[in-house]
């Protein structure tokens, strides 16, 4: 009886753990699932989402292989394991953004009493910057490789494609083929920059795949495209002293709140970035001097322009790397015209084949999204968990010179869904304390909360343009997940003096017509 009672007691203790979707899952369900396959899971793509899924699957007892291969960019740039974020995305972008901010701080330090060299003597060493950035990236590549080895995940540095629904053929660097089978397969190949079909684009232009390791200073640069990648690159290049021009085809930051987008571009223009609106590139020609002559068309006025630049950076969007996968052989047919995969719950039309990350249609192209989705997918496949990725209210930040952070719906999208009469938009301009000495432009320091008009005024979207926007919006993202209302926000005591506290001081609505400018820093 004692043994039986002890068994019952232990069973009651572990039952709650087994029934949750937490990582602490005591019963491994994969021991009997190997069958005749080489692996329980094969992941095609070694970026953030694929690696997160692979690691979680191994933690749950699965045998896992990861295939990753980087096809060089048109300019020959390639990189190591870790995907876009680590190598040519979030990480190097943030480091270069930080370098630009530090340059600005050097000039501002004089007003605080610091004795620094004359402004004319302060300049960026591009070679030193890129070396530091690339050294950090290489260290992350190495740590990632070691982590896979320690977890006993087989890493295959080969270009994978389907032979049949359970078989993948990897083409290795030396051209040899390696074949493997897997019970489950995750497609996590992400995407690469799209190049416009104009003369000279592939031959002479670079993209975000190249800028962070560019072997020479970019000099005078034209950025083709005004999405977040284009604006971020133009912003840090201009701040480093490299003149930047942006060709805007339609609107800046498409998909983001357009009032906030205007704040971002207004700030950039005031800092010296040149914007050419309603313009598309026509050709890029290399001159004997090595510089590049760019021709473009204003589609409104039907007028052509040209100028000479040192660098042309293409930022006209990205395409999914699905064409090279031979998806037909696997039976995967849920592909859009853009090459992306339609999979509402990451599961394709083939039950054992899944997709995570930027390769998915109509999903946020964000690293944390891919990581979280990958982990949850592994838990569903190998631990019987039920939780799915919630793609709503995902926060993000555009790291332009004055940053833009947001979570939830834009004002345009909220109006489309609920109607303007059913919304209340609270807004305010504000004065960051750090902008007082020296006196800096505060015209574009602005925030707003888009809420339902009916009590308790559930908040649908929060938007913030200003310093450290990413740090500000992250905390409010958790509040959005909890269903924050304007009453909650107004009853929150802010930390003074911070820029984040401005959200707790919102009290003026657009509907009221009152002046949203503060009378003082404490008003």
Main-chain dihedrals φ then ψ at residue 184, nearest 5 degrees = -130, 145
What whole-number distance in Å separates Cα of residue 182 and Cα of residue 169? 11
Residue 499 within any structural domain of the chain? yes
As a whole number, mean pLDDT of residues 282-286 equals 98
As a whole number, mean pLDDT of residues 286-297 equals 98
Coil vs helix vs strand at 187: strand
Q: Among 34, 107, 216, 496, which one carries the catalytic annotation?
A: 496
Task: Write out the two tokens for 448.
Answer: 């707003």
Give the tens place of pLDDT for each residue, 483-519.
999 999 999 999 999 999 999 999 999 999 999 998 6
Give the tens place of pLDDT for each residue, 13-63.
434 433 334 333 333 333 334 569 999 999 999 999 999 999 999 999 999
What pLDDT is attached to residue 72? 97
Q: Which of 372, 367, 460, 474 is nearest to 84 (CA)?
A: 367
What pLDDT is attached to residue 5? 47
In terms of domains, do 139 and 157 share one? yes
Task: Write out the two tokens for 187.
Answer: 């497609």
CATH number of the domain where residue 478 is located? 3.30.390.30
In terms of domains, do 476 and 454 share one? yes
Residue 6 within any structural domain of the chain? no
2-16, 298-312, 415-429, 449-463 — which is least confidently predicted? 2-16
How many Cβ atoms are within 10 Å of 483's Cβ, its own excluded?
11
CA 508 to chain centre: 32
- Packing angle between helix 258-270 and helix 411-418, nearest 10 degrees? 160
* pLDDT value at 1 more than 50: no
In terms of domains, do 185 and 268 share one? no
In terms of domains, do 47 and 180 share one? yes
In terms of domains, do 342 and 307 share one? no
CATH number of the domain where residue 205 is located? 3.50.50.60
What pLDDT is attached to residue 388? 98
Our count of domains for the chain comes to 3
As a whole number, mean pLDDT of residues 226-248 equals 98
3-12, 24-33, 149-158 — which is least confidently predicted? 24-33
As a whole number, mean pLDDT of residues 130-158 equals 98
* pLDDT value at 75 more than 90: yes
Q: Which residues are within 8 A (CB) of 32 and not within 5 positions of it... i.e. 6 or more apart?
A: none
What whole-number distance in Å separates Cα of residue 367 and Cα of residue 86? 10
* pLDDT value at 211 more than 60: yes
Q: Are 186 and 374 in contact (CB under 8 A)?
A: yes
Residue 327 within any structural domain of the chain? yes
Q: Which residues are within 8 A (CB) of 131 and not within 5 positions of it... i.e. 6 or more apart?
A: none
Residue 463 is a catalytic residue: no
Task: Write out the two tokens for 225.
Answer: 């495209």
Give the percent of the chain with pLDDT over 70.
92
What sign for the dihedral angle of Cα 407, 408, 409, 411?
A: negative
Task: Among 270, 299, 316, identify where a domain stops.
Answer: 316
In terms of domains, do 385 and 445 share one? no
What pLDDT is attached to residue 15? 40
Strand partners, 429: 446
Residue 5 within any structural domain of the chain? no
What whole-number distance in Å separates Cα of residue 488 and Cα of residue 495? 16
What pLDDT is attached to residue 304? 98
Average confidence score pLDDT of the chain: 93
Q: Are 292 and 311 in contact (CB under 8 A)?
A: yes
Residue 354: burial class (beta carbons within 10 Å; 0-12, 13-18, 19+): buried
Residue 24 within any structural domain of the chain? no
In terms of domains, do 214 and 108 share one? no
What pLDDT is attached to residue 3? 41
* pLDDT value at 10 more than 50: no
Residue 514 within any structural domain of the chain? no
What pLDDT is attached to residue 19? 38
* pLDDT value at 441 more than 80: yes
Task: Among 392, 424, 452, identify where a domain stops.
Answer: 392
What whole-number distance in Å separates Cα of residue 21 and Cα of residue 8? 23
β-pairing, 303-309 vs 292-298, is antiparallel
What pLDDT is attached to residue 49? 98
* pLDDT value at 183 more than 60: yes
Q: Which residues are within 8 A (CB) of 228 and not within 5 positions of it... i.e. 6 or more apart?
A: 253, 256, 398
Residue 12 within any structural domain of the chain? no
In terms of domains, do 416 and 304 share one? no
H or E element that contains 260: helix 258-270
112-126, 136-150, 438-452, 505-519 — which is least confidently predicted? 112-126
Q: Which of 93, 54, 336, 332 is nearest to 228 (CA)?
A: 93
Beta-strand ranges (E) seen in 63-202 are 64-67, 154-156, 158-164, 167-172, 177-187, 191-193
As a whole number, mean pLDDT of residues 197-219 equals 98
In terms of domains, do 183 and 326 share one? yes
Task: Among 288, 316, 344, identify where a domain stops.
Answer: 316
What pLDDT is attached to residue 8? 42
Task: Write out the two tokens for 315.
Answer: 């930022």
In terms of domains, do 115 and 188 share one? yes
Strand partners, 320: 191
Q: Which of 347, 351, 322 is nearest to 337 (CA)?
A: 322
What pLDDT is attached to residue 55? 98
What whole-number distance in Å separates Cα of residue 336 and Cα of residue 330? 16
Q: Which of 442, 160, 197 is nearest to 322 (CA)?
A: 160
In terms of domains, do 123 and 211 share one? no
What pLDDT is attached to residue 521? 59
As a whole number, mean pLDDT of residues 95-101 equals 98
In terms of domains, do 143 and 183 share one? yes
Main-chain dihedrals φ then ψ at residue 453, nearest 5 degrees = -75, -35
Q: Which of 400, 410, 239, 404 is nearest to 315 (CA)?
A: 400
What sign for the dihedral angle of Cα 204, 206, 209, 211?
A: positive
Residue 513 within any structural domain of the chain? no
Q: For the chain, how big is the Rg over CA atoms in Å? A: 26
Q: Structural domain of residue 207, as residue ranges?
A: 201-316
Residue 349: burial class (beta carbons within 10 Å; 0-12, 13-18, 19+): middle
How many Cβ atoms are within 10 Å of 98's Cβ, its own excluded?
12
Instruction: Compute the half-sphere exposure of residue 507: CA atoms within 13 Å on the CB side of its CA.
Output: 8
| Cα dist from 473 to 85, 320, 393, whole Å | 20, 29, 11
């Amino acid at each position: 009886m004692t043994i039986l009672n002890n068994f019952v007691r232990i069973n009651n203790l572990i039952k709650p753990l087994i029934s949750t979707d937490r990582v602490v899952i005591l019963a491994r369900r994969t021991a009997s699932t190997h069958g005749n396959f080489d692996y329980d899971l094969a992941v095609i793509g070694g970026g953030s989402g694929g690696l997160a899924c692979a690691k979680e699957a191994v933690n749950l007892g699965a045998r896992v292989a990861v295939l990753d291969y980087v096809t060089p960019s048109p300019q020959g740039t390639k990189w190591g394991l870790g995907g876009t974020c680590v190598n040519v995305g979030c990480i190097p972008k943030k480091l270069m953004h930080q370098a630009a901010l530090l340059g600005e701080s050097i000039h501002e330090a004089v007003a605080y009493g610091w004795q620094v060299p004359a402004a004319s003597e302060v300049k960026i060493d591009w070679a030193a910057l890129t070396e530091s950035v690339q050294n950090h990236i290489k260290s992350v590549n190495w740590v990632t490789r070691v982590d896979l080895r320690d977890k006993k995940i087989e890493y295959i540095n080969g270009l994978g494609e389907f032979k049949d629904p359970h078989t993948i053929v990897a083409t290795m660097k030396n051209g040899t083929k390696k074949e493997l089978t897997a019970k489950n397969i995750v497609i996590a190949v992400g995407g690469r920059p799209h190049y416009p079909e104009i003369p000279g684009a592939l031959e002479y232009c670079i993209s975000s795949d190249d800028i962070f390791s560019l072997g020479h200073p970019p000099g005078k640069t034209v950025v083709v495209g005004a999405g977040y990648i284009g604006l971020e690159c133009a912003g840090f290049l201009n701040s480093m002293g490299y003149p930047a021009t942006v060709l805007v085809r339609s609107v800046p930051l498409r998909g983001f709140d357009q009032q906030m987008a205007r704040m971002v571009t207004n700030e950039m223009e005031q800092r010296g970035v040149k914007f050419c609106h309603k313009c598309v590139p026509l050709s890029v020609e290399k001159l004997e001097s090595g510089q590049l002559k760019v021709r473009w068309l204003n589609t409104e006025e039907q007028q052509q322009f040209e100028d000479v630049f040192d660098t042309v950076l293409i930022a006209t969007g990205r395409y999914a790397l699905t064409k090279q996968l031979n998806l037909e052989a696997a039976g995967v047919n849920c592909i859009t015209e853009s090459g992306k995969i339609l999979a509402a719950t990451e599961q394709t039309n083939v039950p054992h084949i899944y997709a995570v990350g930027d390769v998915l249609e109509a999903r946020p192209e964000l690293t944390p999204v891919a990581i979280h989705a990958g982990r949850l997918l592994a838990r569903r496949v190998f631990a019987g968990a039920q939780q799915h990725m919630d793609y709503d209210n995902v926060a993000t930040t555009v790291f332009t010179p004055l940053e833009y952070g947001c979570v939830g719906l834009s004002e345009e999208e909220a109006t489309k869904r609920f109607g303007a009469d059913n919304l209340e938009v609270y807004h305010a301009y504000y004065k960051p304390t750090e902008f007082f000495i020296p006196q800096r432009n505060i015209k574009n320091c602005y925030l707003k909360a888009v809420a339902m008009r009916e009590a308790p005024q559930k908040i649908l979207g929060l938007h913030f343009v200003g310093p450290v926007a990413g740090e500000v919006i992250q905390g409010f993202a958790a509040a959005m997940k909890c269903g924050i209302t304007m009453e909650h926000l107004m009853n929150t005591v802010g930390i003074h003096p911070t820029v984040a506290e401005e959200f707790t001081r919102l009290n003026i609505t657009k509907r009221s017509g009152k002046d949203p400018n503060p009378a003082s820093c404490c008003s």
